[in-house]
Amino acid sequence: MRIEVLVDVKTTLGEGPLWDVEEQRLYWIDSFDGRVFRATADGREVRAWDVPQKIGSMCLRRDGGAIVSLQRGFHTLDFKTGVVAPLYDPEPGLPQNRLNDGKVDRQGRFVAGSMDTMEEGPSGALYRVDPDLSVHTLDRNIICSNGPCWSPDGATFYFADTWSGEIWAYDYDVGTGAVSNRRTFARVDRSRGGAADGATVDAEGFLWNALVYDGRLVRYAPDGTVDRIIAMPVKKVTSVMFGGPDLDVLYVTSMAKPPLPRFPDDGPLRGSLFAIHDLGVRGLPEMRFAG
């Protein structure tokens, strides 16, 4: 196994690595600075787009452009012009909230949640954006939405409320996008101050989760047991995604500055985008939004 700094851009809050198999490009975001990045698999040809608000996540659209979950609702992003246009704000009466982590299911629907910006109260919710751009609520009473991803067959949905100390699993109706039967998939080891952040599922059905503030990546078996732990060179790792031409490189984002003063600082590699090679594991292609 080899860990390298792929791009040292010092993202204030790096998040959401997204490998697109069509373009063979890696996308990631700076949540606090409101920026979308793109690079080649080996970190070259770095390009960036500014968005007008804090950004929690993004997904690519089948016909081009992206859907971005900004502080005040879902928006479209045109990569050619840089224009950002509003779609729908599901929480107009909750100014203390912002949209956060999200991913696309196997059928092309975008699932993203919201969070309390102080990470204290359960004012957040989990939403699904369908290809017709309608928005539906899947769950409520969430402090900080993180880590949405699916089993290889798409029938199990994984999700974490970061400060609950748990990663949850739901039954996921692949036909309708409805969720049911929420249960505890894994309990997170918080003894070192970490918490569940971004996640992805590999081709073997194992879930990889970034333990933010703990500097570790954990691979969970399908039964929720810990299979492997990787120590990273920074504490504030935020999310993970497999990519590269063979989907065998694990990309890891991190933050340069903690969002609240109670969280720890890091060394000179803070905010870097990392690549982990030679894991002997491959990921699954990420889907594009069907709308």
- CATH number, domain containing residue 244: 2.120.10.30
Catalytic residue among 30, 161, 197, 248: 197
Within a domain: residue 290?
Answer: no
Within a domain: residue 257?
Answer: yes
pLDDT of residue 242: 98
Q: Distance between CA 237 and CA 273 in Å, rounded?
A: 9
197 is in an annotated binding site: yes
Model confidence pLDDT, tens digit, residues 223-242: 999 999 999 999 999 999 99
Q: Which two tokens stand for residue 143?
A: 């402090």
Q: Distance between CA 55 and CA 39 in Å, rounded?
A: 18
> 70 to each of 10, 32, 63, 235, how far by Cα in Å?
21, 10, 21, 25
Q: Distance between CA 249 and CA 268 in Å, rounded?
A: 23
Within a domain: residue 282?
Answer: no
C-alpha dihedral (249, 255, 256, 261), degrees to nearest 10: -160
Question: How many domains does the chain divide into?
Answer: 1
146 is in an annotated binding site: yes
> 230 to each of 136, 175, 188, 237, 288, how far by Cα in Å?
36, 36, 15, 11, 29
Within a domain: residue 234?
Answer: yes
Within a domain: residue 26?
Answer: yes
**Closest by Cα among 272, 244, 255 to 40:** 244
DSSP string covering the chain: -EEEEEE----TTEEEEEEETTTTEEEEEETTTTEEEEE-TTS-S-EEEE-SS-EEEEEEBTTSSEEEEETTEEEEE-TTT--EEEEE-S-TT-TTEEEEEEEE-TTS-EEEEEEETTS-S--EEEEEE-TT--EEEEEEEESBEEEEEE-TTS-EEEEEEGGGTEEEEEEE-TTT--EEEEEEEEE---TTS-EEEEEEEBTTS-EEEEEETTTEEEEEPTTS-EEEEEE-SSS-EEEEEEESTTS-EEEEEE-SS-SSTTS----TTTT-EEEEE--S--B-PPPPB--
Within a domain: residue 289?
Answer: no
Q: Distance between CA 31 and CA 43 in Å, rounded?
A: 20
User: Each residue's pLDDT tens digit in the chain (291 positions)?
Assistant: 999 999 999 999 999 999 999 999 999 999 999 999 999 999 999 999 999 999 999 999 999 999 999 999 999 999 999 999 999 999 999 999 999 999 999 999 999 999 999 999 999 999 999 999 999 999 999 999 999 999 999 999 999 999 899 999 999 999 999 999 999 999 999 988 999 999 999 999 999 999 999 999 999 999 999 999 999 999 999 999 999 999 999 999 999 988 777 777 788 999 999 999 999 999 999 999 999
pLDDT of residue 261: 72
209 is in an annotated binding site: no
State the residue range of the domain holding 92: 2-277
Q: Is 105 a catalytic residue?
A: no
Within a domain: residue 250?
Answer: yes
Within a domain: residue 10?
Answer: yes
The residue type at 56: G
Model confidence pLDDT, tens digit, residues 112-125: 999 999 999 999 99
